[in-house]
Structure formats: C-alpha cells, structure tokens
Chain A
Amino acid sequence: MTASAPIAQPKRWLKPSVLPGFGLTFGLTLLWLSVVVLIPLIALVIRPWEMGLERFIDLASRPRVVAALRLSFGTAAAAAAVNLVFGAIIAWVLVRTEFPGKRIIDAIVDLPFALPTAVAGIALAALYAPNGWIGALLDPLGIQVAYTPLGIFVALTFIGLPFVVRTVQPVLEDIDADLEDAAASLGASRLQTLARVIAPALAPALLTGFALAFARAVGEYGSVIFIAGNIPQVSEIAPLLIVIRLDEFDYAGAAAIGVFMLAVSFAVLLALNLTQRWARRATGNES
C-alpha cells in the first residue's frame, strides 16, 4: 500500500459538486433575479438620491408619511400575527381531522389568492360599512370597522390567511402521529405535547407563513383602499400615499416612501430567514 499524498486543492469559494450544470443554472438565476427583481429595485433606490440625502430624509419624515408607514407596518404585523394563530388551527383541522366537506373547506382557503383584491375590498367594505351585514351588528356597540385602521386590519387578515395555512399544512402532514403517541406514553399532557413537541417542529413553517403573510400585507393595495377610507394620518396606507405622490408627478417623493418600505421589509424578511437558519442548525437538521 502506498500512502497517497493529499491532492493539493486550489482554495475555492465554491465547493465542487457532482451535480452538473452549476454554471448554467447559477447564471440563469442571477440573470433572472437581475432582470425581474434587482434592476427595478435599483432604479427605485437610486431615484431619491438624485435630490440629495437631506431632501430624502425630509420627504420620508413628514408626519403624513410617517403615519402612513407606521399604519402599514403595524396593521400588516397585527394581521400576520392573527393569521399565524388561525392559519395554524385551520391547517391542523385540515390535516388531522376527517369531516364531510373537508375538500371544500380546503379549497375555500385558497379563495383570497384567487379573488381580485379590488373585489375583496369592495365586498369587505360593503359588509363592514355601518349599514352592512356585519357593520350593522357592530355599529350599536360603537365599533367602527369600515373606514378605520380596523378595516385595514380586516382586509389584510383576509388576504394573508392562505399563506400561513399553505406553508404549515405540508409540514404538519409530515409530522408523524407517532410523535404525539410517544409524548403521551411518556406522560405528557396534550398541552405539553403541543408546546414541546408539535410547536417546535412547526416553528420554521410558522415563521415562513408569518413572513409571507406580513410581506404580502405590507404591499397590499387593492383590497385595502376600498375599506380604509383613506383619511390622511388616520387610515391612509403607505402604498396609497405612493400612488398619490405619483399622481402629483412627485416621483422623488414616491420613491422616498418606496425605498423606506423596501428597507424595512427587507430587514424583517432577512431577520426571519436568519432565525430559521439558526434554528435549523441548532437541531442538526441542516442539509
């Protein structure tokens, strides 16, 4: 036996792979991302700087803009959080129980995906207006939904629901029922099983569902403007303000709001992504 000398490997940033076509697929990935995502975004990011940093900060910090941004991110986060809870419950029911009409319920979950958002907005506005079916019930209680931030929250909850259900559902299907049996035979209560066994296994999917619902809600326009009432500094969302600025031919002002939204959204999504990666590494379930 001759001891074989280790073959000197040139230091490379890329690990050699047995899968062919890396160059081609990676090239296509970069090209496509550039054309579809990056170049339009760069144009957006460059635009406000043409007027200088000072003017950008001035534009982005006006009370009306700040109020719109706060409203957009606040209601999006609240709607995504509510969807997280109810989406998880719906996914649970769809995966773990059998009942007549299950296929129909399953299909209904996708409706917010398929419905034109303007249609959803008009329907919700009609329903929640003080003379609508639900609005008429809430009005005597002094609860105003339509034309208030609460209405925005309702619309964002509606459009975000399928994201959570559809990300949690397949993961839940993969969770072996044996795990729950094992936990029970070891003496865990239903609540302990849920908290210690099911929830941690579902956490990455819940996080992804939350992130998708949140991202969608931040950018949502069509369904919101019909129910929001669009009162500046009260129920005017940031995407609407961008459209208003564009109507006024104030491209720099529109871009300033857009860049700010982009930065915050990107930061939130990145943070959620890193959390997930960290969680995966911690359980040794990488690769």
Chain B
Amino acid sequence: MSLEIDSVSKWFGAFAALDKVSLVGAEGEFLALLGPSGSGKTTLLRILAGLERPDAGVVRFNGEDLSGTSARDRRAGFVFQHYALFRHMTVAKNIAFGLEVRRGAEKLPKKEIAARVERLLALVQLDTLGGRYPAQLSGGQRQRVALARALAIEPRMLLLDEPFGALDAKVRRELRRWLRGLHAEMGLTTIFVTHDQEEALDLADRVVVMNNGRIEQVGAPADVYGRPANAFVYDFMGGANRLPCDVRGGVVTFGGFAASTGDHAPGPDRAALAYARAHDIRVAPEGQPGLPATVLAVFPAGGQPRVECRLGDGQVVEAAVRTGDPWPALGQRIALQPERVRVFE
C-alpha cells in the first residue's frame, strides 16, 4: 500500500474536476488512468505531483500525508505530454538539472552527477546525444530525455501525463514496449495518464477508468475489457454495438436468439439495450433466430474480418464473420446472433 488517494476532490469554479476520488496503489504497481478529456485524470496526476492542491481529501505515500509537501520536495518524477524540456540546455544538462539544483547536504559532486547522467543516457538509449539540444532531437527522443530527467532525481513514483500523445503511432508502440521493459526493470510505482484504451490495456497492471471526475471502474486490463462495470466503460473500451433486446426471467433474447450474459445479471424483465462487441456477434443466414439486418459493407481484410449492416430500426452495427462461415454479399439479408452481451440497468 504505497500510494493512497483518500476521497480527493478538486473544483474549478462550479465544475468538479475530481469528485471524492479514492484509490490505492501497491508498491511498484503500474496504474493507468484512462478516460476522455475532462474526466479529471490529469488533475489527479497533478495533485499527486503537488502541482495542484486538492480542495478536499488526502494523498498519502507509505502512510505519510503529502498535503504539506510541495512539488519541490515530493520527489515525484513527472513527464509532460509536450516534453517540457529546457531548450537552452543540452540533453545532458537537462538530465542533470534536478541534481544541480540541490543544495546543502543533498548536493552531489560534479563527477557523481556526470556519471549518473551517463548511466541515464545509456538507459534511455541516447548515449551519444548528450551534447545535443532538444531542438535537434525527434519527438520520441525528446520524450526519452524527459523521462531520463525525471528518473535522475531517483523519484519515489513516476507520473506520466499522456507521454506519448504527441507522437505518431509507430513510435508510440515502440516506446510503449520500451517503457514496459523499463518498469519491469526498475519496479517504480508508476501512474500513467492516457485517453487511449489500447495503450492503457497494454501497459498497466491495473486500469482506472475515469469519467466526469469519478472513477467508473478499477481492474486488471482483462477485467475492465471483458467485464465492464457499466455502459460508459463498455463504450469507452471501444467497438461497442447497442442492440435492442428482450429481458425475460434473466434471459436476454434477440428475435428468439438467446444470448449469454456471463456472470452479469441483466436485471428485471423489460425491453432493453444490450452491449455487444463485433467479434461476439455472429452473422447467420436469413430466417435463423436473431436480429434481421441488411449488409451495407464487408471488410474482408485486416485482423478481424467483419461486416457492417443495418438493423430494421436504421441503426448501423458491426459484426464478425467466423472462419468457415460463408461471406454475405452486399445488400443480402442476414440474421445477427449476439452470443455474448451485457445489459446494464
């Protein structure tokens, strides 16, 4: 129980950026704060760093209340989306900054600082670039410098605010893999803010889904993806289709086709909306039980061959075609059989 966030609230005027948020992080855990913009995830991160003060609530680290500790004394390594490198300093000077501003007993000899900068440059694989200026580096390299700079102060926790948000997809994936390796190696408690659910699911030990200043769900990536707690989380994880269904005696049916809801009770008898991902919806020939639909487009290439079709009520739905099943033609009438769904109350 290294990090403890205890009913933290933060208002900007009348707007509640954080509404009594509580969260506990284990020593060395990699947590991802995931949510749309305005969900409060960056505010929470800045409160952890001491760059923002909570209006209510307490943050503790190893039992110590951090409320009275300024950002300067928290030893929280912070990495910004837009790098925030000091452009008039070389890469090596940037990394050394946190060590050179130390005063008194904590001050390190110049040799020690130089040696540590060398080690960090090697760690972020920029060994030969210590003499360059930030303007002479690529985005990916700049962010690695920013990370090395944050690690130089031997932080107690590492806070990353959408660190890969300004980079292109390929570099982002590379850095993601590299960061995961780095975390495994160093075992530093790490909080990672992102609005990219794939990034969060790939990187984190636990994902914290946030919305409107509240935590919607906390869980392992497989849990959050496979067992979303509510409609928002399901939607935010991507690929959600909303299908009209009947709930009778705890069974969800679509035009006579009964779907599985796993361990999630669908609630009282009623007509409801069920959530289903494309790969859980089977395409069956017309006339079989299921939701009648018309094929609008087929996408045979890519990781998941799928079709786009329209339901009777005009709604457009994506469904997967199983290996071995026949491909429907454009305009053909089919039946959709949602095999695994969730119905939220």
A residues with a Cβ closer than 8 A to B are 176, 178-179, 181-189, 192, 196-197, 200-201, 283-285
Do B74 and A185 touch (CB < 8 A)?
yes
In the complex, chain B residues whose CB is within 8 Å of the CB of A187:
72-73, 75, 98, 101-102, 153
The A-contacting residues of B in range 91-116, CB under 8 angstroms, are 97-98, 101-102
Do B82 and A178 touch (CB < 8 A)?
yes
Partner of B101, one of A176, A188, A284: A188
Do B101 and A179 touch (CB < 8 A)?
no
In the complex, chain A residues whose CB is within 8 Å of the CB of B46:
181
Task: Decide: A185 near B135, CB < 8 A? Known: A196-B97, A197-B86.
Answer: no
Chain A residue nearest to B161 in the complex (CB): A178
The CA of A125 and the CA of B167, in the complex, are separated in Å by 60
In the complex, chain B residues whose CB is within 8 Å of the CB of A183:
86, 97, 101
Partner of B71, one of A179, A181, A200, A201: A181
Do A186 and B98 touch (CB < 8 A)?
yes
- Cβ of B132 < 8 Å from any Cβ of A? yes
The A-contacting residues of B in range 118-167, CB under 8 angstroms, are 132-133, 135-136, 146, 149-150, 152-153
Do B87 and A201 touch (CB < 8 A)?
yes
Task: Decide: A284 near B135, CB < 8 A? Known: A181-B71, A181-B78.
Answer: yes
Chain A residue nearest to B102 in the complex (CB): A187
The CA of A197 and the CA of B136, in the complex, are separated in Å by 19
Partner of A186, one of B88, B89, B97, B135: B97
Partner of B78, one of A182, A189, A196, A201: A182
The CA of A228 and the CA of B73, in the complex, are separated in Å by 54
Do A185 and B88 touch (CB < 8 A)?
no
Chain B residue nearest to A287 in the complex (CB): B135
- Cβ of B80 < 8 Å from any Cβ of A? yes
The count of residues in chain B whose C-beta lies closer than 8 Å to any C-beta of chain A is 33
**4 other A-B residue contacts (CB within 8 Å) besides A182-B149, A184-B72:** A176-B82, A187-B73, A187-B98, A197-B86
Residue among A186, A196, A283, A284 with the most chain B CB within 10 A? A186
Chain B residue nearest to A186 in the complex (CB): B98
- Cβ of B49 < 8 Å from any Cβ of A? yes
Partner of A283, one of B50, B88, B150: B88
The CA of A196 and the CA of B98, in the complex, are separated in Å by 11
- Cβ of B3 < 8 Å from any Cβ of A? no
Do A178 and B98 touch (CB < 8 A)?
no
In the complex, chain A residues whose CB is within 8 Å of the CB of B82:
176, 178
Task: List 8 tightest A-B contacts by C-beta distance, closest first.
Answer: A284-B133, A186-B98, A178-B84, A182-B84, A185-B78, A188-B101, A184-B71, A200-B88
- Cβ of B171 < 8 Å from any Cβ of A? no
Chain A residue nearest to B51 in the complex (CB): A181
The CA of A179 and the CA of B80, in the complex, are separated in Å by 9
A193, chain B: closest CB distance, angstroms: 9
Do A192 and B101 touch (CB < 8 A)?
yes
Residue among A187, A192, A197, A283 with the most chain B CB within 10 A? A187
Mask: chain B, 279-299; 1 = CB below 8 Å from A; 0 = not: 000000000000000000000
The CA of A265 and the CA of B147, in the complex, are separated in Å by 47
